[in-house]
Amino acid sequence: MHTQVVIIGGGPAGSLLAQLLHAAGIESVIVERRSTEYVLGRIRAGVLEDASARTLTAAGLGERMAAEGDPHDGVALAYGDQRVRIDFAELVGRRVMIWGQTEVQRDLYDALGSWGATLLDSVDDVAIHDVTGDRPRVTFTRDGQAEEITCDWIAGCDGAHGVSQDAFPTDLRRTYERSYPFGWLGVLSETPPVSPELIYASHERGFALCSMRHAMLSRYYVQCDRDDRVEDWSDDRFWSELTRRLPADDAERLQTGPSIEKSITPLRSFVAEPMRHGRLLVAGDAAHIVPPTGAKGLNLAISDVVLLAQAFVDHYARGDDDGLDGYSDRALRRVWKAVRFSWWLTTLMHRFPSRDDFDRKIQLAELDLLATSAPARATFADNYTGLPLDLGEVG
């Protein structure tokens, strides 16, 4: 088989790239390790930046989001019984969209199915070959059969545990990493959200986050030890801990119920540079990981793909390779700003086991600065709603 672009990974990055390339008349094939059912069952991010929501709408994926998504004009930062509202609309004139990654993935797979995308799922042994030549190849096995696809380009969209990074020579690849000494225990419950907007809570006992998917589906997180296992956390223990970390009036209002999903996510910051090697270009978690505190992971995947899709369109439509040649530097400039914001908010809101009373006073002073300084809140709002990206039209 031959195609123009082989996309490794059918998550948000890979499936959005296939959608944007198709809109521009560029052929692609997605090879995905997991089954389609597994991919559609993942529960991950919940917040779309302004630009991400506009990208999905421009790509024809906005109908359900417009009807069922929930636009938010702000978030609250809580510490003790204090709350600081960051008013996005007033401060930067942008908002965010509450629309779960699970729904984004469903919309993407429905779109791919509508035009007959070639999505090869449940593949094994994916391997990348000849990326420094002009005819790279991807090999894999499917239903026990060895297969090969030759192509012009390979897009590595295979997430944090994929194979794309293995194709970068060790003398070319530079990695940057920060692991955090805690994780997030996340719970989904069929209960009304405690607040109409998200609450990020900083407490001596640890961080907590109140989010939602819709009016009868809440998403909550508490900071837990890095080595905790889901079985260490009964529903009762979770609700008790969440209640203790929220301001009294929110704790009073909290409606608890049985968890319908419970999982622990380790937190780390990771960036691998560059994001291109020959005819292999990587996007999304395949190139960078951020702690979910800043709600950036999914949004960075989308912004990488917008840049990469435009670069492929310029290449095929006009023979202009400036986008491909500049992709890595341009994507990384935005990635590092999101990595910084995610690191900063994680450092501000979490309890670090090794930190002392001085550190806690610094956290409280920073929260008080946000409470008393509109420019400080504006900088928060600018980063949280997504630093502007020239979307342009792909195609």
Binding to ligand FAS by CB under 6 A, coded x per residue (else -) over 96-125, reads -----x------------------------
- Residue by residue, DSSP assigns 242-309 as HHHHS-HHHHHHPPP--EEEEEEEEEEEEEEE-SEETTEEE-GGGTEE--GGGS-HHHHHHHHHHHHH
Return the residues of window 32-51 that contact ligand PHB according to CB under 6 A: 45-47
Buried b (16+ CB within 10 A) or exposed e, 146-170: eeebebbbbbbbbbeebbbbebbee
79 carries an active-site annotation: no
Shortest Å distance, C-beta 229 to ligand PHB: 20
200 carries an active-site annotation: yes
Buried b (16+ CB within 10 A) or exposed e, 74-112: bbbbbbeeebbbbebeebbebbbbbbbbbbbbebbbebb
Q: In this chain, which of 74, 247, 284, 386 binds ligand FAS, going by CB under 6 A?
A: 284
Our CB check for ligand FAS shows the closer of 301 and 311 to be 301
361 carries an active-site annotation: no
Which of ligand PHB, ligand FAS, none lies near 187, with the C-beta cut-off 5 to 8 A by kind? none
Closest to 198 (Cα-Cα) out of 185, 186, 212, 187: 212
Closest to 77 (Cα-Cα) out of 340, 371, 361: 371
Active-site choice (22, 72, 277, 288): 72
Active-site choice (277, 292, 327, 350): 292
Q: Report the SS3 class of residue 347.
A: helix
Active-site choice (109, 180, 200, 221): 200
* Residue 137 contacts ligand FAS per CB under 6 A: no
Q: In this chain, which of 22, 33, 213, 279 binds ligand FAS, going by CB under 6 A?
A: 33
Return the residues of window 276-315 that contact ligand PHB according to CB under 6 A: 292-293, 295
The one-letter amino acid at 260: I
Give the separation between CA 324 and CA 311, rounded to whole angstroms.
Answer: 5
Our CB check for ligand PHB shows the closer of 293 and 363 to be 293
* Residue 183 contacts ligand FAS per CB under 6 A: no
Positions marked catalytic? 72, 200, 292, 296, 384
* Binding residues vs ligand PHB (CB under 6 A): 45-47, 198, 211, 219, 292-293, 295
